[in-house]
Amino acid sequence: MSPLFTQFVNLLGAVLLLLAFAMISQRRILSLIHLFTMQGITLVTATAVVGYVTQQPHLYLSAAITFVLKVVLIPVLLHRVIDRLNVRWDIETLINIPTTMLIGILLVIFSFNLALPIAQLSPSVARGSLGIALACVLLSFLMMITRAKAVPQVIAFLSMENGLFFAATSATYGMPMVVELGIALDVLIGVLILGVFMFQIREKFDSLDIHHLENLKEE
């Protein structure tokens, strides 16, 4: 693979990482959906580039599935969910934004140090992307555990899957197509189930704060 394509894939990985940082600092739910959509576009581009360089046609199909699910279908479903629930802001966070960003920086440093020995053994097109993917996963997990509302946690879960998919694409040239189709179906079903779950929380407690679920222990 030419150095130009390697640098381009690493650039797309850096964009994915910057979007993950933007998501952990964002309180507006609508903006979170837009950032997730941008992550999907970046992931589609990276998958198509790796498919072109490695001459693996199944990566083009993976890119197409990712585009349909994460750029079109899932964002549309999330928009409908927040419209029906009438939510726009996620003000409550368990940790303030500056502290969250500092923890995020430490997680990125940890991710690159952890992935470095593994990346040096990889003959893939962009070995540095493994650290980026791991950092994206950990940042998404950080957002999941620091948000008190259900909708941002769903978006964080989907963003975590983006990091895993980027690692599979750039570090191992993609997973078998059967596995990719199964994961895509699982993600879609998961979003639908979580949507129903959020509606039930809102109907019972008139709020999407997951701390209300603790009340169910007493019933």
- Tens digit of each residue's pLDDT (9 = 90 or more) over 53-102: 878 888 888 888 889 888 988 888 888 877 776 766 655 677 888 888 99
Statement: residue 106 has pLDDT above 90:
yes
Statement: residue 216 has pLDDT above 70:
no
Q: Are 206 and 86 in contact (CB under 8 A)?
A: no
- Residue 89 has what DSSP assignment? B
Residue with tokens 């994460």: 70
- Tens digit of each residue's pLDDT (9 = 90 or more) over 110-132: 988 888 777 666 655 555 678 88
User: Residue 206 — φ and ψ, nearest 5°?
Assistant: 55, 30
pLDDT given at position 87: 65
Q: Are 49 and 165 in contact (CB under 8 A)?
A: no
pTM for the predicted model, two decimal places: 0.78
Percent with pLDDT over 90 in the chain: 14
pLDDT given at position 217: 45
User: Residue 126 — φ and ψ, nearest 5°?
Assistant: -145, 85
Mean pLDDT of the 159-176 span: 75
Tokens for 11, please give them.
Answer: 């650039």
pLDDT given at position 42: 93
